[in-house]
A and B are shown apart, each in its own frame.
Chain A
Amino acid sequence: MSVRDFGYSVSDQRAVDLDRKMPDELERVYLQEPSLRNCIACGNCAALCSAGSFTGFQFYRLNVLVSRGLLSELAKKAEACMLCGKCQMACPRGVNIRHGIMLMAQL
């Protein structure tokens, strides 16, 4: 409840709280594709993404949204992927990106 308006507001934390339990559907995504947890958000995947050139699609950002539990636009964003798999060849952490995206698109 806001008592007084100073012209600025308090925003919620956006840090990843590893102690907080994830929603069940996210747990299932990580269970089915554990390599998603290996992502370090380096951006290699986005740098050579053909779909990203036209749609702004960036897998690593999608993964960050997942880890934060921000699911509202996840499935729609995941649909931009053409599943060409170039990103997987560039991923230094060996993340199975295509499988991850397939799972995210179903959320």
Chain B
Amino acid sequence: MSSFNWKSYQKEIPDDHFFYVRSCIRQTFYPGSEAAFLHILRQVLHKDVFEDKRHTTCTGIGYHSDIVPLETLMTVVGRQFALMTEAGYKHLLVSCVTSFGIYLEILDMWKHFPEKLAETRLALWKTTRREFEVPLLVAHTSDVIFHFKEQILEKSVVQLVDPSTGIALRGVEHVGCHYAKIFPQDGIGGAEFPKVLSGLIEAWGGAVVDYPERRHCCGFGFRNYLIKANRGYSVSNSKIKFESMAIYEPDFILTNCPGCNMFLDRWQYALSEIEGKTYDKTGVGIPVLSACELAGLMLGMDPWTLGLQMHQVQVESLLDKMGVKYAHMEKYYLAGKPTVGPERPSVLLVQEN
């Protein structure tokens, strides 16, 4: 078996012309994150990003939960590729780390079992009369943010530095398992030393926190969460991470996977309600941001336009440390009018301004 060298972990990321596929979890729970990413690419970096409104879920969550058969998954993936081919694009840009892993897995499977590719082409033709070409390059949103990190820094209005003290903010990076643990050569830095998020924190002025459970799963684990009887297993996994990172007092957690973002955020709330404890000193929890949301903040986007109020752990503590200006009154505005905010948690504190 050939061994990987460092060059194997340097991924080629396209500069322009992306066919974009969205994320189910990000769309549902953090829609501002996805909107911010598209805004940054189109309006700030002036890139060509195309998305077809007919594209669907990749069915990855169903696949990993043993509900969606492999053949169905391959045909759905083939259909996404067909939409990309019809639109004249060759670079697939994937919002979700689960989907990213799915696309890479299917492409790898087709490489080793060409008969499966032929079966998929036939199934897709019979069902939809569509044909497809496989993408030239598959990139994840965090890859693209990493690729353009210098341009984002040049246009940034804030950085990962406390402007009042000049001290770098301390960030925990959590890279989704399906980003590079399945196919290390398709992730920046591979599985052991993924650079995709730590590189962002360093480039944008922050300090990366190293801690023992840095590569531990966020706790999602598909069936571990989706089946309620197993959910304690999921939350216990997340607890291992929180306890491991808490002593280093991070200012924020940075993720590239919508699922990780969801669980590192929501489970802080669940753990606080079940066990009555939080993992920061002030009791507000450790804010969890996606790379897209952090890039949006750096570029001066309004936190409430970014949808940061939809996070379970409130982000004001981080905004204050970064020196981000925001109107607290407008946190729960909808279409310019105030709305009733969500019920307050009983343990996690919500910062009042």
Q: Which of the residues A1, A3, A4, A11 comes within 8 Å of B232, measured between beta carbons?
A: A11
Q: Could you tell me how many residues of chain A have their Cβ less than 8 Å away from some Cβ of chain B?
A: 12
Q: Which of the residues A1, A8, A11, A13 comes within 8 Å of B228, measured between beta carbons?
A: A8
**Chain B nearest Cβ from A86, distance in angstroms:** 36
Cβ of B340 within 8 Å of any chain A Cβ, yes or no, is: no
Cβ of A9 within 8 Å of any chain B Cβ, yes or no, is: yes
**Chain A nearest Cβ from B145, distance in angstroms:** 33
Which residues A1-52 have CB closer than 8 A to chain B? 1-4, 6-13
Bound CA span A48–B239, Å: 40
- Residues of the B chain whose Cβ atoms lie less than 8 Å from the Cβ of A2: 274-275
A3-B273 in contact (CB<8A) = yes
- Residues of the B chain whose Cβ atoms lie less than 8 Å from the Cβ of A8: 228-232, 235
Prevailing SS type, chain B contact patch: helix
Q: Which of the residues A3, A10, A12 comes within 8 Å of B235, measured between beta carbons?
A: A10
- Residues of the A chain whose Cβ atoms lie less than 8 Å from the Cβ of B271: 10
**Chain A nearest Cβ from B222, distance in angstroms:** 16
Q: Which of the residues B231, B236, B274 comes within 8 Å of A4, measured between beta carbons?
A: B274
Chain B positions 216 through 255: 1 when the CB is less than 8 Å from some CB of chain A, otherwise 0: 0000000000001111110110011000000000000000
**Chain B nearest Cβ from A1, distance in angstroms:** 5
Chain B positions 137 through 162: 1 when the CB is less than 8 Å from some CB of chain A, otherwise 0: 00000000000000000000000000
**Chain B nearest Cβ from A17, distance in angstroms:** 11
Q: Which of the residues B229, B230, B232 comes within 8 Å of A10, measured between beta carbons?
A: B232
Bound CA span A4–B235, Å: 14
Query: Beyond A9-B232, A10-B236: 17 further Cβ-contacts under 8 Å?
Result: A1-B275, A1-B276, A3-B272, A3-B275, A3-B346, A3-B347, A4-B346, A6-B231, A7-B228, A8-B230, A8-B232, A9-B274, A10-B239, A10-B274, A11-B233, A12-B236, A13-B240
Which positions in A face B, CB cutoff 8 Å?
A: 1-4, 6-13
Q: Closest 4 CB pairs between A and B? A: A8-B231, A8-B232, A4-B273, A11-B236
